[in-house]
Chain A
Amino acid sequence: MKEYRYIGKSTPRKDALDIVTGKTKFINDLTVPNMLYGKVLRSPLPHALIKSIDTAEAKRLPGVKAVLTYQDIPDWMAGFPLHVRVLDSKVRYVGDAVALVAAETEDIGEEALRLIKVEYEPLPAVYDVEEARQPDAPQLYEQFPGNLLPQERRMFGPHTLQEVVTGDVDKGLAEADFIIKGTCAYENIPNPLPPEPPGVIASWEGTDALTVWSASQGPHMFKVTLQRRMGATNMQSIGSPVGGSYGSKYMSWQYVLPAAALAKAAGRPVKLYYGKTEHLAAFTVRLGSRIHGQVGMKKDGSVTALSADWLVNTGAFSEITQGMVAVGCGEAQLMIRCPNWNFRPQMVCTNRTASGQVRGFGGQELKCALIPILTMGLEKAGIDPVEFFKKNYVKPGDGYYWRDGKWWVCNGIDYTPAIEKGAETFGWQEKWQGWLKPTSINGAKRRGVGVGVHGNADVGEDISEAFVRLDSNGTATIYSGLAEHGTGQRSSICKMVAEILQLPLDRVFVTPTDSSVNPFEIGPVGSRGTYAIGSAVIAAAEDAKRQLLELMAQKFKVAPEDLETQDGMAYVKGKPEAKIPWIKGMGYDRTIMGHGRFEPDFTLPNFMMIFTEVEVDTETGKVDLIRVVGATDVGQIIDPPSLTNQLNGCLGSAGIDSALFEETVFDTRLGRVMNPNMIDYKWRTFAELPEMEHEILETPFPSHRFHAIGVGEITPSPGPSAVLMAVSNAIGVRMADYPLTPDKILRALGKVANAERRGK
């Protein structure tokens, strides 16, 4: 393997010093002169019409500078397709926005909220996807009869994937040795729960120039998607470091539009920063996913047919649900080799806080419900799940319909070696005793193992553009709209550029994420950072280097191909002693600008497998996660610690732990989230860490300059179904109800009465 100067080596993050000294400015650490604070009055009812709303007293409170209701807010629309008003005469979930206030201080803003008088006419509410589909169910939107979201064919082009229908399911079922029917749901709505709540500052100059500072994972996209909707023609979107996102803060309008409306009304900048309760109870959460499936299977475990209704609960609106369904449908095909599909999603609105994008993006929600149904067949056939995944996971030459509805053929690598290496490290062969059989029993404690798989052909999704500017002092500046949300990607692109230009890492910089400076960038979504964003940056660096060497060649009177550059000096290959600085060729009065653009390519699925071992205390019902082994192949590691950090991320941000204890507890009598705080919403602490190991293979991907692809987004996704399998095996009872809290375990073991659990 090629030895690189930076690629594959551990190098400190460029932002490390600021992070460890507290100098990093997250969005709530910023203020702008004359700034007001925005506050949102939220609905106490899950479904109601606003009969009257009186803001007079709130407006009279000294320090209050603007109060907005549905009667006077600009008619800016959001959602897919556009169906949500920032404030409406109808509220659709507990926590829905009713009125907005801008005030001199946060305390005054909160006081003003208390002075607003609202009279509601309550409406019946519905929370369950299937109940919402009944003919007499309460209707959330006039334009969505039956609470059904329209399939959105424009989201990823005119043929956006909204189902998988191929072959002949009847024929496939007829060919099967046995047919499995089952239902499984992943509806516990685990919260991605970044530590930093969503926040934004908006400021208008005149009527059409708008500046927005936000903790967004994709700040450039605010300009692309929201500028026109807010009637601005000149929007500057500036990103701050993101205090965790896990997808959730990508391009949510939910905090931007209210702040911009208040700033416009008050004529002053407004900061809107969610409190933790608002964050947990009123900001977007993960999709609810329920599958009624039918699987035809041969005795050898081959799947002959898959027919399923996928009921997707999007809550009170769709931020990008159709997009998540498209990607989920694509990802299902990467995992199952099956000639006959009839996989039909239905996206349903209900009266709970809305679903937005979260790491896993449809595919995790789908897999968590589908894999337990498939495994019923494997159980019947007595097939080892690792063998099943090995046989089924997409291989070079296999095709799939991707999110754009087009048929793509895998041009990546075979992940069989990664599966085998992971299984070996985990000790799968020794630990796997067969379906519903524990690995070991020690008194009341029983251990079990389980495995899950996930992959996404998104490493090359969407467009990225970048510029690389060379200055004659021997420095390079990357112009990229890439936000830093924790993956270290802004440092990683510096490593790529430093490698190409052979510059010291401290002479390579990235511009701030500012849409007025940088070219187009979708943002670090999915696992596209390394391949898509990286390739745009690399192309820009190569372009800049070419221009540099052309200039330097005139000095040396040789062809540009004969030159090399290192540490800001150029020389004829093989003669480094006769080197001259860039400035000698460039002059002090020239900059070089290289341009790079990446075009989408859906032929490269990535891969993640997770092996888990759990221990169940059959007396208390408590499940302990003992050990986790992750297996993947990334082509080439860019920065080892950044990659292991991402892989360790499989636990939280609603990954593995969403099968164990994480859930948004919902009271269906009141329509309220019962645990909107970080004491009642359970999360894993330092004291309860499992053993964690990863097998990271590096099989080169030829189409990337450094043969690398990304994997960060998908690391949590195989986890929940793996845990379900492990616990089922430990206790000998098939479990299908996330999360596996002690009450459910004890009920499954027949140790407590089968009382209906309240909620959800």
Chain B
Amino acid sequence: MTTTQNLSYATITLTVNGENHSFILGEGSHEVTPSHTLAHTLRERLGLTGTKVSCDDGACGCCTVQMDGKAVNSCLLLTVECEGKEITTIEGLGDPVTGTIDPLQKSFIDHTAFQCGFCTPGIIMSAKSLLTENPAPTRDEVKESLAGNFCRCNSHYHVLDAVMAVARKGGNK
């Protein structure tokens, strides 16, 4: 029998890649606990494993996603803090209607701007946020804005080439 008490659970709602998701708060294995990070919820609850976790400590940028258009480390945010936020992950880039990938992703392919690729989703999300804010950055501005993204294979140089190739001209090289 359903009681009113059972129905009064707390929920949290986020928009992820354009879709609304509501989660029940609780300790159950399919619920979201107050200690769950956004990265954990994206990966473990929504299966959006394109967002990578490396340090889980705010240091490496592998878990970068966009929140309301700004790049954030999803391992540093608690899901419960994200009520009503719009989240975009690497899976949400590109055009959902035509299925084409974002020009930045295409440029990463064209420049082989990765080696192992573990850092790549985070780097693309950081660079995408930069380009949204500043469509014509200089190479130095790109370096500065990616300073929080760890890449151990040293794909940095190709990444810079890839980002600069889609930056609107006007930013001096």
Contact = CB atoms under 8 A, between A and B. Distances in A.
A149 interface: no
Contact of A25 (B49, B111, B146): B49
A13 B112 contact: yes
A687 interface: yes
Interface string A193-216: 111110000000000000000000
B26 to A, nearest CB: 13
B122 to A, nearest CB: 9
Contact of A677 (B55, B101, B117): B55
B112 A642 contact: yes
B24 interface: no
Contact of B115 (A25, A192, A488): A488
Contact of A686 (B62, B110, B117, B147): B147
B152 A244 contact: yes
Interface of B: 29, 33, 43, 48-60, 62, 89-91, 93-94, 101, 105-106, 108-112, 114-121, 124, 142-144, 146-160
A19 B54 contact: no
Interface string A59-90: 00000000000000000000000000000000
Interface in A226-245: 241-245
Contacts of A196: 52, 54, 116, 118
B153 A486 contact: yes
A646 B116 CA distance: 11
Contacts of B94: 21
A245 B118 CA distance: 11
A24 B117 contact: yes
Contacts of A19: 108, 114, 117, 120
Given A686-B146, A687-B143, A20 B152 contact: no
Contacts of B29: 104-105
A22 B46 CA distance: 14
Given A19-B114, A24-B117, A685-B147, A652 B52 contact: no
Nearest to A692: B157
Contacts of B158: 641, 644-645, 648
A25 B147 CA distance: 26
11 contacts: A20-B121, A26-B49, A26-B118, A29-B43, A243-B116, A484-B116, A488-B115, A651-B154, A685-B147, A686-B142, A686-B143
Contacts of A641: 111-112, 158
A21 B158 CA distance: 17
Given A21-B91, A195-B62, A29 B146 contact: no
Contacts of A246: 152
A689 B156 contact: yes
A245 B153 CA distance: 9
A21 B148 CA distance: 20
Interface residues of A, number: 59
Contacts of A573: none
Contact of A241 (B116, B149, B150): B116
B154 A22 contact: no
Nearest to B43: A29
Given A21-B50, A195-B150, A685-B147, A679 B59 contact: yes
Contacts of A651: 154
Given A16-B112, A243-B54, A486-B114, 17 more contacts: A12-B109, A12-B112, A19-B114, A20-B101, A22-B89, A26-B52, A26-B118, A104-B29, A244-B115, A245-B116, A276-B56, A641-B112, A644-B158, A652-B152, A679-B57, A686-B144, A689-B143
A749 interface: no
A486 B105 contact: no
A663 to B, nearest CB: 16
A717 interface: no
A678 B57 contact: yes
B114 A686 contact: no
Which 8 A-B pairs give the minimum distances between C-beta atoms?
Answer: A22-B50, A243-B118, A486-B116, A486-B115, A22-B90, A19-B117, A641-B112, A29-B49
A15 interface: yes
Given A275-B56, A679-B57, A487 B115 contact: yes
Give the interface centre of A10, A485, A486, A692 by most chain B CB atoms within 10 Å.
A486
A645 B51 contact: no
Contacts of A485: 116
A195 B54 contact: yes
Contact of B116 (A12, A107, A244): A244
A23 interface: yes
Contacts of A408: none
A652 B109 contact: no
A649 interface: yes
A686 B156 contact: yes
A653 interface: yes
A21 B90 contact: yes
A29 B60 CA distance: 18
Contact of B118 (A21, A194, A642): A194
B88 to A, nearest CB: 12
Contacts of A192: 152
Given A21-B90, A22-B89, A243-B118, A195 B109 contact: no
A26 B101 CA distance: 21
A17 interface: yes
